[in-house]
């Protein structure tokens, strides 16, 4: 399993961060995580996982769309993650 990276300081200009918003027991979330792990691992891009059941603000914003993938804090996609599209967004 690829390690989960968490950023504790603000991103420097040009740095990328992928955020996967998910919930436990969600098969689409598991599928999305596999794509995020693969692409971010291959490109060396840090990523983080956030649990929608633990964050009321994320729940209010995304509860109908999970899994949601954010790139640099902006919504990239939801439900299904396309590997090629994520690579393109990350500049590969």
Q: For the chain, give every domain's residue range.
A: 18-89
Predicted TM-score (pTM) of the model is: 0.82
d(CA 4, CA 21): 13
What's the pLDDT score for residue 68? 98
- pLDDT higher than threshold 90 for residue 4: no
Q: Residues 22-50: what's their mean pLDDT? A: 97
Q: For all residues of the chain together, what is the average pLDDT?
A: 87
CATH topology classification for 18-89: Glutaredoxin (3.40.30)
Taking only the tens place, the pLDDT of each residue in 40-84 is 999 999 999 999 999 999 999 999 999 999 999 999 999 999 999
């Amino acid at each position: 399993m690829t390690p989960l990276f968490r950023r504790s300081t603000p991103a420097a200009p040009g740095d990328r961060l992928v955020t996967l918003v998910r919930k436990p027991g969600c098969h689409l979330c598991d599928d999305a995580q596999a794509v995020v792990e693969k692409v971010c691992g291959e490109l060396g891009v840090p990523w983080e996982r956030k649990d929608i059941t633990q964050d009321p603000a994320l729940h209010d914003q995304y509860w109908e769309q999970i899994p949601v993938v954010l790139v640099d804090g902006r919504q990239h996609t939801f439900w299904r993650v396309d590997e090629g599209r994520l690579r393109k967004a990350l500049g590969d």
